[in-house]
Amino acid sequence: MNEFINFDEISREKWQNLYKTSIPPLTHEELESIRSLNDEISLQDVQDVYLPLVHLLRLYKKNREDMSFSKGLFLQKIVKTPPLIIGISGSVAVGKSTTARLVQLLLSRAFPKLSVELVTTDGFLRTTADLKAQGILDRKGFPESYDMEALIEFLYRVKNGETCELPIYSHEIYDILPDQVQIIDRPDILIVEGINVLQNPQNQMLYISDFYDFSIYVDADEKLIEKWYLERFDSLLKLAKSDEANFYHQFTKMPTDEVVKLAKETWASVNRVNLREYIEPTRNRAEIILHKTEKHYVDKIYLKKF
Ligand SMILES: Nc1ncnc2c1ncn2[C@@H]1O[C@H](COP(=O)(O)OP(=O)(O)O)[C@@H](O)[C@H]1O
Ligand SMILES: CC(C)(COP(=O)(O)O)[C@@H](O)C(=O)NCCC(=O)O
């Protein structure tokens, strides 16, 4: 059966015209904050793709609030609308965190009075010491390397209106930061970004997917994602050059061709396998799929029909 049978395929040209008239253009300040987020982001993409996406998110938000209100009437009690949770998934290096930060920025602009928080599921990776003890350090990113129970409990508590803490993962030290936590204090909207956002582990009492009000899968051809992975590896190396504490510092001492070989091998033996076996199979669970081509240009959008 066609994986996309349940989706409407919308070309960029069609998508960009869906909400155009009602969206005010970005101000100079807003453009600057997008640039400081990632100066590679195309502002045309923001205008054509991401602003209409935020407009669609408004509809889902309104719908959730109406439902919550009606449920309250039925139950004859005051039911506070739970925070809206948006999941963002896709391969390692496809651009999830960049998309997530952009959506956070645009949602804060659309709802200036609401708090919009962002977490990444990397925080629920087991520590390097734990992974080593279990002999699965080379499985970082695979389902068994995450504490999914803790992630699901975290989402439950956020939905339930509780203030929560979560660990922080650092790409620089390639591990969970030992003495720091991120505090999520009852936001109105929470964005959850990570490769495992749409993975439902077995034997859990709660389903992770039950907590999302909207979900996005960022998609691209595998070869392109590899290219982006290698480019990011290179940027991480540049940042690590003069920082001995950085995990990537060790690679800055190696000859370039060896480093490239190592990054290619890591892509092929870890991240690509993970994409094929565990990430891409969750693609059609998303409410929307953003399909990117060269230079992160979004050419197609798939929106779930029902
Ligand atoms: N929309 C975009 N425009 C330009 N570059 C992007 C975009 N999204 C991601 N990138 C670049 O692609 C690489 C991977 O993106 P990142 O957001 O770190 O991926 P992920 O969180 O999925 O691992 C980074 O080097 C980032 O700068
Ligand atoms: C921490 C990650 C699992 C998560 O990925 P992200 O999408 O944030 O890049 C990944 O970046 C990773 O470290 N993978 C293991 C193999 C590698 O070093 O690329």
Q: What's the sign of the alpha-carbon dihedral 145, 190, 174, 264?
A: positive
Give the number of other CB atoms < 10 A from CB of residue 87.
27
**40 close to ligand 1 (CB < 6 Angstrom):** yes
Find, among 113, 110, 143, 90, the residue nearest to 30 by Cα.
110
Asked if 272 and 263 touch (Cβ cutoff 8 Å), the reply is no
Hey, which of 29-33, 169-173, 288-292 has the most confident mean pLDDT? 288-292
Tell me how far apart the terminal alpha carbons of the chain are, to the nearest angstrom.
17
The CATH class that applies to domain 7-304 reads alpha beta
Model confidence pLDDT, tens digit, residues 220-251: 999 999 999 999 999 999 999 999 999 999 99
Provide the pLDDT for residue 25: 76
**65 close to ligand 1 (CB < 6 Angstrom):** no
Tell me the whole-structure pTM to 2 decimals: 0.96
Tell the residue nearest (CA) to atom 2 of ligand 2.
Answer: 141
Question: For the residues of 171-194, what is the DSSP string, one character each?
Answer: TTTTEEEEEEEEEEE--SEEEEES
The pLDDT confidence band at residue 80, using thresholds 50, 70 and 90, is: confident
Q: Which atom of ligand 2 is nearest to the CA of 195?
A: 7
Tell the residue nearest (CA) to atom 23 of ligand 1.
Answer: 93
User: For a pocket test of ligand 1, which of 37, 38, 103 has the largest count of ligand atoms closer than 8 A to its C-beta?
Assistant: 38
Residues with CB under 6 A from ligand 2: 92-93, 96, 122, 140-141, 195, 266, 270-271
Asked if 287 and 223 touch (Cβ cutoff 8 Å), the reply is no
Residues in the chain: 306
Domain boundaries, the chain: 7-304
Residue 186 Rama label (left phi>0; alpha psi -120 to 50; beta): left
Tell the residue nearest (CA) to atom 16 of ligand 1.
Answer: 95
